[in-house]
A and B are shown apart, each in its own frame.
Chain A
Amino acid sequence: MLNVLMLGVGQCGNRILDAMNREAFGGGASKLSRYYLRPKFPSRVETLAVNTAINDLKELRFTTAKDRLHVPNLHGVGANRNVGKQAFMENRDMIMGEIEKRGDFDIAFVITSTSGGTGSSFSPLLINELKRQYKDIAVITVAVLPFREEGSIYLQNAAFSMRELMELDAEGIILADNQYMKRFSGDIASAYDKINTMIAQRLLFLIESLDSEMLSVTDLGDFKTVMNGGLRIGTMGFYQADSKNLSIRDAIQNSLKPANLLYPANVADDAARAMIIIQGSQEHLDVDEITKEVERLSASAGHVFKGIVVKKGRPKVLSVFTLASAPELEAIYAQAARAMQEEKEKRTRARKQLDEAFAHIEDLEEIY
């Protein structure tokens, strides 16, 4: 059995973690479920929500109180990653102590937005600490990219935090892009819920699959290998066949389609390594079809691991792949740089204008 640590850092990370806890109560659980059910994770999963804002923690519904860790910081972080880093360092022992209490882990997922203050600044430092403390732990970052229109600070934060995350000696990053998934819903609150649920489902499916006895073996090692490929940045796709079309081939193809991915990528062009995990009733799982489909994918994506889990139900397919190139991410950097440049110019221009204004009183004294 795998020992899994799930860390949600910052508001975004907390809420995705809460969505995971909700999913663990059973699909679409209501608030009351927590009174009569227990979250059921496929493996031993410890969850911990970490935040500097106590209100964000209070907002959670499916995470137990002991799994919410408040990092006291007098005035909050205010999207300032430097303040955030300082706050983490000041509270590092407390945070790490809280994690240690939860025992040993084979794998940790650190879920965070890349653009906020707390999550994006805590996560790289936290991952470093985890790597230091736990010898053989695999640490995967689940990083959420902001809506592009959220402003220059969020873009700047995303750019810098992504660089930090990529430079870490960790197992890789799974990207989720708010901007990309925005299309699912009109208003922000329900878009968040929808995105969070999608991320939570995929992560739980992944854990379950890694811990199952598979027909065709994939395990944590295989997963690590996949994540280690390319830029060590990857994403996930997921598809559940509907009753009208139970074809496993179509299900595999659908799991790789852009509509079912968390981050916009072209598998055929960009994938470095991939892993396809298939679950469903025996009768739907045509091994030839699966093999054929996996081979087709291998032609473009390099190595493809496949895992098959026999479990009653319609076919479900999870695809995990790492990218050899990330054009969208590059675009963000360009956008961030432009925004930062603009900001800088605006600032100097404003400063210059103000200096000119000051010039008027340069030779004058205050008269009383």
Chain B
Amino acid sequence: MSVETSFKYDKDYVGKFSESRQEPQWLLDLRLRALELAQQLPMPKPDKTKIDKWNLTEFNHISSKENGTELPEQVKALIGEDGEAGNLLVIQNGKTLRSSVTEELAAQGVIFTDLVTAVKEHGDLLQKYFMQDGVSVDENRLTAIHAALVNNGAFIYVPKNVEVKSPLQAIYFHDDEQSGLVNHVIVAAEDNSSVTYVENYLSTNNEGDSVSNIVSEVFAGPGAKVVYGAVDNLAKGMTSYINRRGRAGRDARIEWALGQLNDGNTVSDNTTHLVGDGSFADTKTVNIGKGDQKQNFVAQIFHHGKSSEGYILTHGVMKDAASSIFNGITKIEHGATKSNGEQTERVLMLSEKARGDANPILLIDEDDVTAGHAASVGRIDPIQLFYLMSRGISKAEAERLIIHGFLGPVVNEMPLESVKKRLVEVIERKVR
């Protein structure tokens, strides 16, 4: 049963907010319709995870905190040496702090900007993608709240045949305990283009009770390739609802590399629709739970097109009294002949109280396909631990080695060195 919540933002508020952003009519209309739906629609129902006691709806919309002009230290650490000169977006507490794109890319018609700017400068283009064919406004109360209150995010547009060589990096940093994070990312890659986008979500609110409501929509046009890397590292005080969705056209590829490492309760769904014939999706996720954290992870690929290929690889580590559901879903629709779907979920549990539930699900409505799955949930083998310790390695270090060994096959597959490095850092911190 979902708790009835007194959603505190009304038509008047949303109208004024939209006006203050000089938003076009279509967006105002969409927000107002979403607001109405937010009051009617039920909450999402993640499989086997009860979220009725979670706060995902009550939060302050806009941060009252003023950003400085300097990048915060935590953000600098994420950017690395040459990041600041290149293609970079930094949003702090929902407000854009940096937005840069190289002249070379701009000259090729590539757009990489914050959502607020995109609404003003590329409104018509944005309208084509924003909550139309990806994540819909009316899926549930949280997608509706998202549309009504979406605050900032990123808009990436790559025209036909343009190959973006260096990665586009975005950092969503939140150090305001009071306000929510309603962030929306769109990656639209036109025919035969390619782009790599990498995002970091980072917050400092260990205490308190805040909410993140995050939606990403990825569109890979015919022959396009999108590589999407993410490291989610939101603090314990943030309850998160995350929806990352992709649609791949004919012969298009979408590759996800997701480090789902939040410290707060999290529902995270990653779904790819292989719409076009010959389309391809690869979803790799690394997930860690600690403390009394509850999480629900879905990784799913829908095969609609013929000869489409989808691969899911999920590795999770559960510490302390953390509990997580891992649902991997491969759905091959009728008519998606010659398709291949494979998935693997592996969970390592580090304590007696930890819970991990890996469910590989194959739903196949077509005969002429191949599909496979594997899943395992296990604990650290005490004999392995003994072996490592018998060489002088401390118990803590031995466990660390075993965990890295376990996550390694996924971490090492991450597309970018910077994501890999960042992942290792966060894993290191989280499993310590």
Q: Do A and B come from one complex?
A: no
Query: Which residues does A use to contact B, with CB under 8 Å?
Result: none
Query: Which residues does B use to contact A, with CB under 8 Å?
Result: none
